[in-house]
Amino acid sequence: MINLKVNGIDVSVPEGSTVLEAARQANIEIPTLCYMKEINAIGACRICMVEISEGGRPFRMATACVYPVSEGMEVKTNTIKVINSRKNTLKMILSTHNRSCLSCVRSGNCELQTLCQEYGVEDAAEFDGAMPEALFDTSAAHMVRDNSKCILCRRCVAACKQQQVGVIGANDRGFDTHIGSAFDNDLAKVDCISCGQCIVNCPTGALHEKDNTAEVYEALADESKYVVVQTAPAVRAGLGEEFGLPIGTDVEGKMVAALRRLGFDKVFDTDTAADITIMEESNELIERVTNGGVLPLITSCSPGWIKYCEYHYPELLPNVSSCKSPQQMFGATIKTWFAEKNNIDPKDIVVVSVMPCTAKKFEIGRDDESAAGVADVDISITTRELARMIKRMHMNFNALPDEQFDSPLGEATGAAVIFGATGGVMEAALRTAVEKITGEELKDVDFPVVRGTDPVKVTEMKVGDINVKVGVASGITGAKELLERVKAGEEFTFIEIMGCPGGCVNGGGQPIQPTSVRQTVDIKAKRASVLYNNDAAKAIRKSHENPFVKAVYAEYFEKPGSHKAHEVLHTTYVDRSNEVIM
């Protein structure tokens, strides 16, 4: 342990700790802009400058995020010299920054704006001058890149690298330095997987999801359209943060009430389609296990991971489940079974999805996602976009009553709601597959071995007479590890992969928390706890016991894996390896 003083307070921290970590031990927060724990420690932004003295030598300036502590060190975090340094740095950042803050999507939740307010920095007149040429890229289906608001913190670069994608980086040198893709290609022309992890890690409005709320308002205003909305399980675990509620607050009832007041004809739950997904996917698993099919079966619910596989592991596409994701199964079911049952032309139905995921904006435009001859899902918006819609309507969200989803596509089991957490799809599938394989009732439906936020989890179990080895990965780093193990010959039966670390609860469309929170609070675990608590409280916790699912198969899909089910609920994939720019 290393002993030092921070603002006169005695602190003891493990050897190898940084000044930033030591200050936090003393409950003193040193501001940062570029730093992300274990991902981006580069000392580039210079906001975290402090004064340090070692060995009795005079105090000097140092970057707290990367400077290691030493025995007897003294640290001062808020001297006049430190404050003036931070103010000057903020002014220099603002001197090349697009300061249209009032109309910026991140206004009120911008780390640069917050620091400028705290330090009383209103302009950068003394440093104003030439402005670098700024790229503005709207080519991708899911996001907008506005380099006029970029501060070169490189947090997006680090997040993209952590996701094993690495399609963005620093181009050019000096004043002309900017973040871009190889050869400054549009994002749509590189192997971006649309995961949005760059967005949730960006401290400003330089990166944001494409806002599709105007299309939703237009659909709601069109009296000739029947507009239904579906919400993914992770949305209820994150939406409350946009309204000041603690991380890990379940706002399902208030979310439903808000959607109903926005004017949707029906407010449904994607969880219901997740139960249908389990029926199809567990059937596919059983068929492959019993009939010598291609193993391991790999889940297909995360469009970011699917896109990554198409780019970098096309040889494993035969392993990927042909099941559509719950978002797409929901849309397909609405525009086939629901449309026929209610005598509505599918062309007159608008399906809106609220997702924690920016990659869903890409997914709705994929080929072979149009069971009724029209797109299964018409518009996909993020949790953040829904929050903006609620705020524009001036609803007092926290005072709304708790309301229930509409029937019948609002009836879901506990197995469906845990889809939003890493390991959830695996656990839900096992609850059904184990019963089908053994022919015996599963008394204990919990599978704690596949829970938790570790990037990779592997376990073996006996199911009847069959030895089953399963793997769970979240984040593309974990996915790549598992896929390489498969390529090396390690035998797995079933693998679940989610593109974002921790699963959908940590998706690129979820509420953005400042880095000071992301580094001190386990956001993934807190949001996931909402879903597991929701599951535990459900009367029915196995997908195959959902009464609606039983009914819709009896009257429409016939049985899991039927010809009708394949027409509506399954899809195909594309080898994109030739699109990768090396």
CATH number of residue 154's parent domain = 3.30.70.20
Reported as half-sphere exposure (CB side, CA atoms, 13 A), residue 304 has a value of 32
pTM assigned to the model: 0.96
* Separation between Cα atoms, residue 268 and residue 119, nearest integer Å: 46
Q: What is the pLDDT of residue 358?
A: 98
219 shares its domain with 345: yes
- CATH code, domain carrying 496: 3.40.50.1780
Q: What is the pLDDT of residue 582?
A: 55
- CATH code, domain carrying 62: 3.10.20.740
Indicate the residue among 186, 209, 232 that finishes a domain: 209
Q: Which residues of 118-130 are buried (b: 16+ CB within 10 A; e: fewer)?
A: ebebeebeeeeee
Q: DSSP letter string over 179-230?
A: EE-GGG--GGGTT-----HHHHH-SSSSEEE---HHHHHHHHH-TT-EEEEE
- Does a structural domain hold residue 88? no
What is the identity of the amino acid at 459? T
Segment 135-157 mean pLDDT: 96
20 shares its domain with 124: no
Q: What is the pLDDT of residue 580?
A: 75
- Does a structural domain hold residue 86? no
327 shares its domain with 413: yes
Segment 454-480 mean pLDDT: 94
> What burial class does residue 316 get, using C-beta atoms within 10 Å of its C-beta: 0-12 exposed, 13-18 middle, 19+ buried?
middle
* Separation between Cα atoms, residue 71 and residue 53, nearest integer Å: 11
Look at the chain and report how many structural domains it folds into.
3
506 shares its domain with 438: yes
Which domain covers residue 16, as residue numbers? 2-78
Q: What is the pLDDT of residue 300?
A: 84
Decide if 449 contacts 295 (C-beta within 8 A): no
- Does a structural domain hold residue 582? no
- Does a structural domain hold residue 85? no
Indicate the residue among 148, 179, 209 that finishes a domain: 209
Segment 315-334 mean pLDDT: 98
* Separation between Cα atoms, residue 279 and residue 144, nearest integer Å: 37
With cut-offs at 50, 70 and 90, classify the pLDDT of residue 479: very high
- Does a structural domain hold residue 132? yes
Residue 252 has pLDDT above 90, yes or no: yes
Q: Which residues of 474-510 are buried (b: 16+ CB within 10 A; e: fewer)?
A: bbbebbbbbbebbeeeeebbbbbbbbbbbbbbbbbbb
287 shares its domain with 310: yes
Task: Give the CA-trace dihedral at 546, 547, 550, 554, to 10 degrees.
Answer: -160
Of 105, 115, 117, the residue nearest 34 (C-alpha): 115
* Separation between Cα atoms, residue 388 and residue 151, nearest integer Å: 25
Model pLDDT for residues 509-549, shown as the tens digit of each residue: 999 999 989 988 999 999 999 999 999 999 999 999 999 99
- Does a structural domain hold residue 87? no
Whether the CA torsion 351, 356, 358, 359 is positive or negative: it is negative
Decide if 352 contacts 228 (C-beta within 8 A): yes
Residue 137 has pLDDT above 90, yes or no: yes
Q: Beta strand 169-171 with 49-53: parallel, antiparallel or unpaired?
A: unpaired
- Does a structural domain hold residue 218? yes
401 shares its domain with 421: yes
Q: What is the pLDDT of residue 581?
A: 66
Q: What is the pLDDT of residue 519?
A: 87
- Does a structural domain hold residue 101? yes
Q: What is the pLDDT of residue 378?
A: 98
Residue 37 has pLDDT above 90, yes or no: no
Q: What is the pLDDT of residue 579?
A: 83
Reported as type and span, the H/E element at residue 134 is none
Of 188, 475, 193, the residue nearest 307 (C-alpha): 193
Q: Which residues of 140-175 are buried (b: 16+ CB within 10 A; e: fewer)?
A: bbbbbbbbbbbbbbbbbbbbbbbbbbebbeeeeeee
* Separation between Cα atoms, residue 291 and residue 293, nearest integer Å: 6
158 shares its domain with 235: no
Q: What is the pLDDT of residue 464?
A: 86
313 shares its domain with 395: yes
Both tokens assigned to 321? 């489940």
Percent of all residues in the chain with a pLDDT value above 70, rounded to a whole number? 100
- Angle at which helix 213-221 crosses helix 383-392, to 10 degrees, equals 60
* Separation between Cα atoms, residue 96 and residue 147, nearest integer Å: 10
Indicate the residue among 190, 209, 228 that finishes a domain: 209
416 shares its domain with 492: yes
170 shares its domain with 284: no
What is the identity of the amino acid at 188? A
196 shares its domain with 219: no
388 shares its domain with 462: yes
Percent of all residues in the chain with a pLDDT value above 90, rounded to a whole number? 95
CA distances (Å), 5 to each of 12, 25, 142, in order? 9, 11, 47
